[in-house]
Amino acid sequence: MNIQKIRCVDYHIISEKIPSVFDGFRILHLSDYHNHPVPGLLEAISKQNPDIIAITGDMINEHEDYQPVIPFLESLLTIAPCYMVSGNHDTWHLDYREYVRTCREKGAIFLQNERICLERNGAQIFLSGMEDVFCKTQKGMEEKLEEAFSALGKIQAFDILLFHRANLLDAFSGHGFDLVLAGHLHGGQIRLPIVGGVLAPKSGLAANARLLFPDYTGGKYRLDETTTAIVSRGTGNATLLPRMFNPPEIGVISLHAN
């Protein structure tokens, strides 16, 4: 696979809450790498000249050594600061805590139900990150979501949330985030014309989510009057079923002051 086969999608977010000094701020969105190297991926990311790189989970696979992912993360950090959250495969890994610690030691900002400030010339926007909320029951998953919402709270400034599971985006309406970046659904694994994505990961069963023809498989969505979501199709694969008509994807989100 070469660099021309990596799909790069541009998005533009316009808001009165974005300070003028952040006009043109570029966020490279990477999701679902799954310890699955894609030739040309680093070059494609570097070419976009991002201000930051936002990683929305599943950098690793639960049953594989996470160490091969670390050199890739180190290379990303030479391109731009990296902010990341967990996905289900990350949290299922037996060495998850060690993985988080290693990512932080290398210089990545790993957010676990916490928020940080990005500042330019005294102006601020915020970046929030939510830990993956996997639980074996739908009720347990809902409780984890509520705990995360409570931990983060709401703020008045422009707030970007990194979260893994796009199949849970309906729960984010009314919680005050301006932009939510997510992944998890791998673009539906197989994509068909008009229909879109066909399959969701089986881990969605715990959330009583639809596995066939799921919502939010990739692209830009409006969740409510104030919240926009952008969902990445991801770059890797965690199943025996290959990605079909669904090339690896990175997104570039440009912020614009209104």
- pLDDT score of 59: 98
* Contact (CB, 8 A) for 169 and 179: no
Q: pLDDT class for 1, splitting at 50, 70, 90?
A: very low
- pLDDT score of 36: 93
Beta strands in 40-96 (DSSP E): 52-56, 82-85
Q: pLDDT class for 84, splitting at 50, 70, 90?
A: very high
Q: pLDDT class for 240, splitting at 50, 70, 90?
A: confident
Q: Using one digit for the tens of pLDDT, what is the confidence trace for 128-143?
A: 999 999 988 889 999 9
Pairing of strands 196-197, 123-129: unpaired
For the cut 90, the answer to whether the pLDDT of residue 205 exceeds it is: no
Rg of the chain, C-alpha, whole Å: 17
3-state secondary structure 94-140: CCHHHHHHHHHHHCCEECCCEEEEEEECCEEEEEEECCCCCCCCHHH
SS3 state of residue 65 = coil
CA proximity to 92, closest of 150, 53, 171, 34: 34
Q: Using one digit for the tens of pLDDT, what is the confidence trace for 21-54?
A: 999 999 999 999 999 999 999 999 999 999 999 9
Strand partners, 11: 253
Q: pLDDT class for 55, splitting at 50, 70, 90?
A: very high
- pLDDT score of 206: 61
Q: Using one digit for the tens of pLDDT, what is the confidence trace for 85-117?
A: 999 999 999 999 999 999 999 999 999 999 999
Please count the CA atoms within 13 angstroms of the CA of 77 that sit on its side-chain side. Answer: 16
| 97: Cβ contacts below 8 Å, ≥ 6 apart | none
SS3 state of residue 207 = helix
Q: Using one digit for the tens of pLDDT, what is the confidence trace for 155-168?
A: 999 999 999 999 99
